[in-house]
């Protein structure tokens, strides 16, 4: 007789599935694409939750690095709905979206590229890290002069743009998928767990910020960039 799945067990499996989808979309960029599918760009959202001059960052479970909350857009969702949902799931906070900061493209990313719409928001309700989905190990507010060293490199410009009040920019951020083209998210997790490295060390080895180049395609930023 098979055991009846408990609510906790179902929640754990759903959390694991979301974690795999996060690597697929945000790190690998292929959420929703099966074996043999034609490579297609993915579209996601990120949110800079701002409290005065500080931005909320989460410490991610997959590589124990810091980044903005965000993720993929689910079927039937608008971009704004996805943004609010992702913040709630990952931080426990409800937010009011204030503006679209910009669009951040990684066209050279695996399986057709990845494109993220960044919103700026303010918190409205909730308690930080209460009733979250387990994808975030920690969540804290940081000011621009004390951003964590282990911030995902392609999130840094996004954070600065949000804090600077930028609106309507478009960036191209060149990142290269460091594994085999057909390597699945589950295989990345397995390699991580058997590498003998900490999760941060594994990230640093394979996602070196020194290899990243970015270009402002549309709009202006403080300091004269255009």
State the pLDDT at residue 130.
80
Beta-ladder partners of 201 = none
Considering only CA atoms, give the Rg of the chain: 17
Chain mean pLDDT for the chain: 84
Which pLDDT tens digit goes with each residue over 8-51? 444 455 555 455 445 555 554 444 444 456 677 889 999 999 99
Between residues 79 and 210, the one the model is more confident about: 79
Helices within the chain (DSSP H only): 7-22, 79-91, 153-163, 185-193, 199-206
Whether 25 contacts 31, CB under 8 Å = yes
Q: Dihedrals φ, ψ of 161, to 5°?
A: -60, -45
State the pLDDT at residue 40.
79
Query: What's the CA gap between 148 and 65, in Å, rounded?
Result: 9
Whether 162 contacts 50, CB under 8 Å = yes
- Write down the pTM of the prediction: 0.81
Length of the chain counted residue by residue: 226
SS3 16: helix
Which pLDDT tens digit goes with each residue over 59-83? 999 999 999 999 999 999 999 999 9
């Amino acid at each position: 007789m098979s055991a009846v799945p408990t609510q906790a067990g179902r929640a754990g499996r759903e959390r694991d599935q979301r974690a795999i989808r996060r690597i697929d979309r945000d790190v690998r960029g292929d959420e929703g694409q099966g074996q043999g599918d034609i490579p297609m760009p993915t579209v996601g959202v990120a949110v800079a939750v701002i409290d005065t001059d500080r931005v909320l960052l989460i410490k991610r479970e997959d590589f124990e690095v810091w980044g903005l909350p965000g993720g993929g857009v689910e079927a039937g969702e608008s971009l704004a709905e996805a943004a609010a949902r992702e913040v709630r799931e990952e931080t426990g906070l409800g937010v009011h979206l204030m503006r679209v900061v910009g669009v951040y493209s990684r066209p050279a990313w695996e399986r057709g590229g990845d494109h993220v719409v960044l919103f700026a928001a303010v918190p409205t309700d909730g308690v930080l890290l209460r009733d979250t989905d387990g994808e975030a190990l920690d969540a804290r507010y940081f000011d621009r002069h004390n951003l964590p060293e282990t911030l995902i490199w392609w999130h840094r410009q996004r954070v600065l743009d949000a804090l600077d009040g930028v609106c309507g920019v478009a960036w191209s951020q060149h990142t290269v998928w460091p594994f085999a083209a057909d390597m699945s998210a589950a295989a990345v997790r397995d390699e991580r767990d058997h590498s003998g490295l900490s999760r941060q060390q594994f990230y640093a080895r394979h996602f070196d910020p020194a290899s990243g180049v970015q270009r402002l395609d549309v709009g202006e930023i403080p300091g004269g960039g255009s």
